[in-house]
Amino acid sequence: MIREQRRRKKRRKIGLLVFLVLLLLIAIGTFIVINVFTVEHVVVEGNELYSPEQIQNMVLNDEYSWNSLYVDLKYRFLDVGDVPFVDTMEISLDDPHTVRISVYEKGILGSFYIDTLGQYAYFDKDGFVVETSSDVIEGVPKITGISCDTVVLYEKLPLENEAILNRLLSLTQILKKYDLSPENIHYDSAENPVLIYGSIEVVVGSDDYLTQKIARLSAILPQLSGLSGTLHLDTWTPDTTDIVFDRSDL
């Protein structure tokens, strides 16, 4: 009987000790979560269309977002949600105080204004419509002179002439490569592109030697800053290398 009582007391002491240890561990864990995992720095990368502040506000969007561990765990199970022109975002921790947001934007090369929608249709390098919006995105050229009356999201641009679409995609990709995206790309009556950079118009002509023409444009355009006129790349060939600029501000 006495031995049984001693065993019960011993088990109670062990149980109480285990409970206190668990309570202490919970308290320590809570202290660490609250006082160590605090958001002090936010690193945003991959963003061009949105500012770092806009991206930060999209991610840290509730009353518990001051806690970096909460933010990390939250986006392991949830998406940020649909953000126009953004394919996805990845959220991770560099350290207990630093949240890193990696932004993967949709590869937009140009846009058509669709009258029936009252919106712009933005397309990617393969000619697929990746977004429709009334927002005008800086650095994305507007395409005019080619008829595009209607579009379907995530389907290819329904241009009647497939050859013109292929030429457009080739041109916009080369311009993107050289960081020379104009405000507008206008196709003239001969279905040849004219690039518009403010008060400068660049007549490209046919697709012959297109890459070489754009390479020369990248060297010439900075020299035309503050001027108005028309730059003629349409006459350039490897044998006829003179490029004429007709000034209109004289």
CATH topology for 110-247 is Rossmann fold (3.40.50)
- Residue 6 is predicted with a pLDDT of 62
> CATH 3.10.20 in the chain, residues?
41-105
Q: What is the distance between the alpha carbons of residues 143 and 123, in angstroms, rounded to a whole number?
A: 11
Q: What is the DSSP string of the chain?
A: -HHHHHHHHHHHHHHHHHHHHHHHHHHHHHHHHHHTSB--EEEEES-SSS-HHHHHHHHS-STTTTBHHHHHHHHHH------TTEEEEEEEEEETTEEEEEEEE----EEEEETTTTEEEEE-TTSBEEEEESPPPTTSPEEESS------TTSB---S-HHHHHHHHHHHHHHHHTT---SEEEE-TTS-EEEEETTEEEE--SSTTHHHHHHHHHHHGGGGTT--EEEE-TT--SS----EEEES--
The torsion angles phi and psi of 168, rounded to 5 degrees, stand at: -60, -45
Per-residue tens of pLDDT for the chain, all 250 residues: 666 666 666 667 666 666 666 776 666 666 565 667 889 999 999 998 889 999 999 999 999 999 998 999 999 988 888 888 998 999 999 999 999 999 999 889 999 999 999 999 999 999 999 999 999 988 899 999 998 889 999 999 998 888 999 999 999 999 999 999 999 999 998 899 999 999 999 999 999 999 999 999 999 999 999 999 999 999 999 888 889 999 987 6
- Residue 30 is predicted with a pLDDT of 63
CATH topology for 41-105 is Ubiquitin-like (UB roll) (3.10.20)
Q: Which single residue is written with the structure tokens 């990248």? A: 218
* Contacts of range 50-57, beta carbons closer than 8 Å, 24 or more positions apart: 50/83, 50/85, 50/86, 50/103, 55/89, 55/101, 55/103, 56/101
Length of the chain: 250
- Residue 160 is predicted with a pLDDT of 81
> CATH 3.40.50 in the chain, residues?
110-247
pTM score, whole prediction: 0.76
Q: What is the distance between the alpha carbons of residues 220 and 59, in angstroms, rounded to a whole number?
A: 42
Q: What is the distance between the alpha carbons of residues 201 and 214, in angstroms, rounded to a whole number?
A: 14
